[in-house]
Amino acid sequence: MTEKQLERLLKRFREHCDVIHKSTTINIHETPQEKAKRIEELESHYGKWFEYYFPQFAKCACAPFHIRTANSIIKHPVSYHYLEWFRGAAKSVHICMGIPLFLKMKGEMKFMLLIGENETKAIKLLSDIQAELQYNQRLINDYGKQYNQGDWAEGNFTDAMGVNYMALGLGQSPRGVRNGAERPDYIGADDLDTEKRCKNPKLIKEAVNWIKESLWGCFDKGRERFVMANNRIHKNSILANMIKHHKSVIKKSKKEGLEITSFHFKVNALDKKGEPTWKAKYTKKYWKKKFTDLGYRSAQREYMNNPIEDGKIFKLEWIQYTKLHRLSQYDALVLYGDLSYKKNGDFKALKLWGKKGRHFHQIACFVRQASRKDCAEWLYDLYEDLNLEKYGVLYYIEGLFAMDEFIDEFDEVGDDRGYYIPIIADKSAKGNKFTRIEAIAPFWERRQVFYNKKLKDSSDHEADLDQLLAFEEGSGAPDDAPDADQGAIAKLNKSTASSRFTPRLGQNNRKRDF
């Protein structure tokens, strides 16, 4: 740690201590009986205990997943917990402060080892604990003087109960770590993954081996709580590999009839129904705005534990832009829609493509989580803005979704406008979706596909590219946009092939052998 880094941490520490002291006021008129009863009630519920003693962090109520995880860690003195929590889920304050201090006050923790992505980050986490023990009036009032000796800045201190706290960076040697006869009995590993490390399989393997060998080797028999928390930022992250190890341990333990001591808690920002998992802090509206601002891939990685690697099938370097031809100059024009029929929250895609010679131009696109009526309004607006009635545009909607209810909503917009767009239900046999979409990738690779230069910065185009670059089999990412691309390109090729074919009539003088 450099002098500047230490100076910044010291300044932050002093400011943090002042906030703690001011926020942890106590009731000086409380009787000893009232105090004892209050402490007993708080200790019976981790969430209430945390909210009372750490009001500067508990701006709202703990989430159910905080309490469920804390209860599991508290219940199992020998346990390995892997917390796959979304970014903003208060991982650090619970696994590196709230839960260990709860255990310490209950006499169930003697030596805490904090592991950070590097030593500086680990020491920063340690400073938060020392600040609470020194300046939290509520902890001191209920449990007595807490701080004894040592300094977080040195990466090691001891409290008044003889509990030791130490900070190490990932990869630093923990061998021989002890405080008298006490060896670490609580190890908290916080946000160890980095994007740079995840791209290097060798470094990931070294980190995983360090955890399983050097770090876990610090534990003493019968007292070994290991808690690791991170959001899944990469498919080959440290967390991802440790969860693989967890699954292997569970499988072997069940086969051998051994006690289950390994636990995995996965929490996304939104549950399967699209509801916030921490409702006391976040709303659906908040997440909708956040996801829109970030784009699909970034939001999935940071908040839904779904890291999508860019360009497995379609590469970013294949994306190119151009000034469009006049619509009358294209050999064929097709508007194709892939419109999920499930619900308004699903992605829906409408694409207008043109073909000129060997080149395909995406002229306009609609890629949004929207209602069918929104799709219809956009299409009719496009029809009017580009005067599409003047050109021989073919309009297709994937047949599975071209149902009465859907057509009715399009026709309702047509009723309002006084005319109807001739939409055709594409009921042609589709085959495997992944195979179909993968088959058009060579058009991008051969640089035959161009996007409208004017729409480069539009939100629809950004969502379009998000889906295209994220496309791979089994990714779970939406694929409505590339599916619409495939449908449009297939229709364009069929249309131009038919128009370019000129039958030749004449006498065939060849003799046949049959």
Domain ranges of the chain: 3-267, 271-307, 316-499
pLDDT at 508: 47
In the CATH scheme, what is the homologous superfamily, with its name and number, of domain 316-499?
DNA-packaging terminase, C-terminal nuclease domain (3.30.420.320)
Report d(CA 460, CA 381) in Å as an integer: 15
426 membership: H or E segment, kind and range: strand 423-426
124 membership: H or E segment, kind and range: helix 119-135
424 membership: H or E segment, kind and range: strand 423-426
Spatial neighbors of 264 by CB under 8 A, at least 6 apart, are: 81, 82, 84, 243, 246, 247
pLDDT at 342: 59
Report d(CA 320, CA 261) in Å as an integer: 52
pLDDT at 190: 95
Give the residue from 115, 147, 146, 132 showing the smallest Cα distance to 52.
132
End-to-end CA distance of the chain: 90
How crowded is residue 297: how many other Cβ atoms within 10 Å of its Cβ? Answer: 19
Residue type, 323: K
Give the residue from 355, 439, 444, 338 showing the smallest Cα distance to 398.
338
What's the CATH number for 3-267? 3.40.50.300
Give the residue from 301, 143, 163 showing the smallest Cα distance to 232.
301
Report d(CA 208, CA 227) in Å as an integer: 14
DSSP state of 150: E
Q: Which residue has the tokens 């956009």?
A: 378
Identify the bridge partners of residue 235 per DSSP, sorted by sequence position: none
pLDDT at 185: 95
Identify the bridge partners of residue 78 per DSSP, sorted by sequence position: 224
Give the residue from 478, 490, 479, 470 showing the smallest Cα distance to 235.
470
State how far Cα 275 lies from the chain centre: 15
Spatial neighbors of 469 by CB under 8 A, at least 6 apart, are: 297, 310, 311, 314, 315, 316
Per-residue pLDDT of the chain (514 residues; tens, 9 = 90+): 566 776 776 677 677 677 777 778 888 888 999 999 999 999 999 999 999 999 999 999 999 999 999 999 999 999 999 999 999 999 999 999 999 999 999 999 999 999 999 988 898 888 888 888 988 989 999 998 887 776 666 778 889 888 999 999 999 988 778 777 789 999 999 999 999 999 899 999 999 999 999 999 999 888 899 999 999 999 889 999 999 999 999 999 999 999 999 999 999 999 989 999 999 999 999 999 999 888 777 898 899 998 877 677 899 889 999 999 999 999 999 999 988 765 555 789 999 999 999 999 999 999 998 888 899 999 999 999 999 999 999 999 886 555 556 677 788 899 999 999 998 888 887 788 899 999 999 999 999 999 999 998 888 998 899 899 888 887 777 899 999 999 999 999 999 886 555 555 545 454 433 2
φ, ψ at 86 (rounded to 5°) = -65, 160
Residue type, 419: Y
pLDDT at 260: 95
Q: Token pair for residue 354? A: 């043109």
CB 200 within 8 A of CB 147: no
Coil, strand or helix: which one is 364?
A: strand
pLDDT at 514: 29
CB 138 within 8 A of CB 26: yes
Identify the bridge partners of residue 396 per DSSP, sorted by sequence position: 336, 424
